[in-house]
Amino acid sequence: MNRSREPLISLALYHAFKWSVVSPMLHAYFRVRIHGAENVPQSGPLLVISNHASYFDPPIVSNCVLRPVAYMAKEELFHIPVLAQAIKLYGAYPVSRGAADRTAIRSALECINNGWAVGVFLQGTRTPDGRITDPKRGAALLAAKAKAPILPVSLWGTEGILQKGSTMPRAVPITVRIGQVIDAPTSTNKEELQAFTQKCAEVINQMHDLGR
């Protein structure tokens, strides 16, 4: 049976980490601007799609959409004591290196059925300037199978947080734009999913092009 919200203990952990660490860093250090927060459904299944340019993107997205967002994580992390329990509570789900797409989709569907919002980077990997140039249709397929609405999010400026060879985040300005919810595709036909995916990429790129 579908749940409408994340588990209470995960919500508590999310808010504790958000208000003690992520939110102060975003607002004081990165001077983040958030547009469109009113577009976020605060309960029910949800697929959050975005561009991707930094390792910092998952906590930034989760903080700015005002609810926990589950992302896939390397399976090896789930064998580390304490860390495994923490990332599970925060919504991460394991994916093996080289695993088939259907394995990741099955894990993400389970998260959605447990009341989580699930995050997917539309291109699947980081891009140097944050724009989406080669979107993958996995997010559209997941939305179709879960019958979950899609929330498009644009991250601007995160590519500048870490310079090559550095471990210290730079205090660069960041802008997050949250678009209108998009209804899930009604078909799993490959051509239709690809066309739907391209439209989602265009929405995110248009928000990204607005800049700061």
Specify the pLDDT at position 102: 73
Which of these, 135, 161, 165, lies nearest to 55 by C-alpha position?
161
Enumerate domains of the chain plus CATH numbers: 8-208 (3.40.1130.10)
What number is the average pLDDT over the span 74-98? 75
Specify the pLDDT at position 68: 87
User: What confidence tens digit (pLDDT) does each residue in 113-148 have?
Assistant: 888 899 999 998 899 999 999 999 999 999 999 999
Give the whole-angstrom CA distance, residue 146 versus residue 190. Answer: 16
For residue 40, count other CB atoms closer than 10 A to its CB. Answer: 17
Q: State the pTM of this model.
A: 0.90
Give the whole-angstrom CA distance, residue 23 versus residue 118. Answer: 20
- Angle, CA of 81, 66 and 94, to the nearest 5°: 30
User: What confidence tens digit (pLDDT) does each residue in 37-60 have?
Assistant: 999 998 888 999 999 999 889 889
Query: Could you write out the DSSP letters of every residue in 176-198?
Result: EEE---BPPPS---HHHHHHHHH
